[in-house]
Amino acid sequence: MSPPPRLSEAEDRQRRAATRNGWLLSAPALVLLFIAASGPLLIVLVYSFLTPGKYGDVSWEFSTSGWVGILFSRDIFDDTLKLADAHLTIFWRSVKLSLLTTAITFALGFPTAWFIATRPPKARALWLFLITIPFWTNLLIRTFAITEIIRNEGILNKVLLAIGVIAAPLRIMNTDTAVLIGMAYVYLPLMVLPLFAAIDRFDMRLLEAGYDLYASRMQVLRHVILPIVRPGIVAGSILVFVPSLGAYVTPRVLGGGKNMMIGNFIELQFGQGRNWPLGAALSIALLIVVMLAMLIYVRAATKEDTPHG
């Protein structure tokens, strides 16, 4: 077998010139992307290794106190390190509520997406339009709308009192339940739309094949529908879990400042806490946790079954 012909020197120079021109043409976009996306992250990363200033801001002296402060706090008397229980409580509440929000939105979003995907084309467009309507309204306004439903004198308590289900108003505001309800309402469309996109491509003849093989409805759901629409489940779960973990407005309004999540805790460090290195370290740590969670979840959810011979 003869060796492949080598490029001539002129062709080689032409190819290198084309590659160089391509990089030069894309350089403005790459610089803009670096400044707009990576630049702020690098600033936050640098701030996390500095010393807190006396009145906010930072002192340009290297320190790891911000990173140590994520899990530990110093005793005001003997300056010894101890586990920061309050920080761990906030972390656990954030992860717990984010996972519960993802589960609730999936439980509500899957049948909703299935209903929309099985409608006629004209009706399907109308239902999708109704699903996207909440995105037209500011997040803060939507959150305040939830308070009118779940507050002590809200619609929910008035209805339950009128029909005699409860004797006194339910106290939902300023609790984790209120935050969970608010986040599930806010992020539900982010679960429905990816699920609809996956179900819309589903071949309904596979359902008939499953029933012809005497599979029950639950077996068809577990072994036929869910594996095929898994990409939509993964995409919807990521779109809900990531913003839920760093949510700020909904916990602040519905939690009343008493049920703090990590987004509120970071804002507190840059505001009243005046500890910018700790806030920066928390921000980078949250970014790392989200990236690791996404990688683990995507790998686990998209892992294909080993083929059997």
| 3-class secondary structure, 49 | coil
Report how far apart the first and last C-alpha atoms of the chain are (Å, whole number).
Answer: 37
306: pLDDT confidence band, cut at 50, 70 and 90? very low
Per residue in 18-62, pLDDT (tens digit) is 888 878 888 888 888 778 878 888 888 999 998 888 777 788 888
Best CA proximity match to 154, nearest among 254, 74, 299, 245:
254
CA distance 138 to 163: 33
CA distance 254 to 260: 10
The CATH 1.10.3720.10 portion of the chain extends over 85-301
Per residue in 79-125, pLDDT (tens digit) is 778 888 888 888 899 999 999 999 999 999 999 999 998 888 888 88
Best CA proximity match to 236, nearest among 117, 103, 119:
103
Best CA proximity match to 189, nearest among 139, 247, 154:
139
CB 186, CB 143: distance < 8 Å: yes
Half-sphere CA count of 3, side-chain side, radius 13 A: 3
Mean local confidence (pLDDT), 131-155: 86
- 48 torsion bin: left (phi>0), alpha (psi -120 to 50), beta (else): alpha
Q: At residue 250, does pLDDT exceed 80?
A: yes
| Predicted TM-score (pTM) of this structure | 0.80
Q: At residue 1, does pLDDT exceed 60?
A: no
Q: Which amino acid is at 165?
A: V
Q: Higher confidence at residue 3 or residue 190?
A: 190
**Domain 85-301 falls in which CATH fold?**
MetI-like fold (1.10.3720)
309: pLDDT confidence band, cut at 50, 70 and 90? very low
User: What per-residue confidence (pLDDT) applies to 300?
Assistant: 65
| 3-class secondary structure, 21 | helix
